[in-house]
Amino acid sequence: MARKSPPPTVQPKVHLTAEQLQKGIDRLEQRITDLDAFDLNTLKSGTSPELQVLERSIEDTLERCFGVNTTAANRYKEAYELHYQVMVWVSGMPEPNYKARTKEKIEEARALLGQAINALKTDLEDLEPSIVTPATNARPTTDSSRVFLVHGHDDAVRETVARFLEKLGLQVIILHEQANGGRTIIEKIEHHSDVGMAVVLLTPDDVGGKAGGQMEPRVRQNVLLELGYFMGVLGRQKVCALRSGKVEIPTDFAGVVWTEMAGEWKTAIARELKAAGYDIDWNKVMS
């Protein structure tokens, strides 16, 4: 007679740093945004590749935040069980209400992720100030109604992105439009760095290459400098770049969100703004 395997031992709670907790909150908020954006019309007989990807994305995010087989992980695991067990009629056709059932599963998942976010926020509040890293303390207070727009010489791209951000009700900080006040350029950047996100435009304004090699389109050096500055001040998760045209992406750029300025670039930026704490009106994004 085969022996039953003992149930897996529940693992201890995962303890995260303040920075890890904040990243977890941001990622879970992004998963809620993904749930809201899911199109039920992609479902065929109760499933779709998009739904499967969404499940795995939620599962991965929850594992990063709560580990595997911990009490918290087990509490929220139904958030990535989005598939409804489709009933098949005698005729061989799937149950006609599978879309409505899947919508209910998505709503339940949304509520669970909201609970998970509140749990991480509580852990973040419970951390003693001494635990917070010096880098976190050194960051200036950020304003989630302002966005710093880093740009090169492509005025058309700059104006297109700036007008879109303004349509969302955000104040766009463009350096040359700000008063000098006797400050150097780097001092002006520091003065206006109290923003919730920096949007960096990667446009092919210069050319360069290895000595003796082929010259290739490149981003202006001041754009790369400001990109690195905001990565350090705001953190990589609050720097979003748009690439317009054929231009080389720096090899040290790994970990920073970037997207092509084509297709659904407006939706991509809006999602990153939402994850960074901005209040986004999706009707304005789609209009």
The answer to whether residues 145 and 282 belong to one domain is: yes
Q: CATH no. for residue 249?
A: 3.40.50.11530
The residue-averaged pLDDT of 250-262 equals: 69
* Residue-level pLDDT at 148: 94
Per-residue pLDDT, 195 = 92
| 8-12, 145-149, 253-257: least confidently modelled range | 253-257
pLDDT at 134: 45
pLDDT for 169: 92
Domain boundary among 131, 150, 167: 131
Residue 3 covered by a domain: no
pLDDT reported for residue 156: 92
**Looking at 83, 101, 131, which one is the last position of a domain?**
131
Count of structural domains within the chain: 2
Domain assignment present for 213 = yes
Last residue of a domain, one of 110, 131, 152: 131
pTM, two decimals, is 0.50
For residue 58, pLDDT over 60 is answered with yes
The chain-wide mean pLDDT, for the chain, equals 82
What the block records as the tokens of 82 is 């989005």
Are residue 191 and residue 227 in the same domain, yes or no? yes
User: Contact, 102 vs 46, CB < 8 A?
Assistant: yes
**Does residue 187 share a domain with residue 268?**
yes
Same domain, 39 and 175: no
3-class secondary-structure state, position 109: helix
Both 270 and 163 in a single domain?
A: yes
167 and 243 in a single domain? The answer is: yes
Could you read off the pLDDT of 176-198 as tens digits, one per residue?
Answer: 888 888 888 888 999 888 999 99
> How confident is the model at residue 92, as a pLDDT?
53
User: Is residue 10 a part of any domain in this protein?
Assistant: no
Which residues, at least 6 apart from 170, have a Cβ–Cβ distance to it below 8 Å? 145, 146, 147, 273, 278
Is residue 154 domain-shared with residue 92, that is, in the same domain? no
pLDDT at position 257 is: 63
Q: How many CB atoms lie within 10 A of CB 157?
A: 18
Instruction: Indicate whether 13 belongs to any domain.
Output: no
| Shared domain check, 219 and 176 | yes
Using an 8 Å Cβ cutoff, are 107 and 19 in contact?
no
On whether both 268 and 155 belong to a single domain, the answer is: yes
pLDDT in tens, 194-231: 999 999 998 888 787 778 778 888 888 888 889 889 98
Whether the per-residue pLDDT at 59 is higher than 70: the answer is: yes
Domain co-membership, 186 together with 243: yes
Is the residue at 126 inside a domain? yes
- Asked if residue 5 is part of any domain, the answer here is no
**272 with 197: CB under 8 angstroms?**
yes
Domain extent at residue 198: 141-286
Looking at residue 145, its pLDDT comes to 84
Do residues 66 and 177 share a domain?
no
251 shares its domain with 116: no
Distance CA 42, CA 46 (A): 9
Q: What is the largest CA-CA distance in the chain?
A: 86
pLDDT classification of 174: cutoffs 50, 70, 90: very high
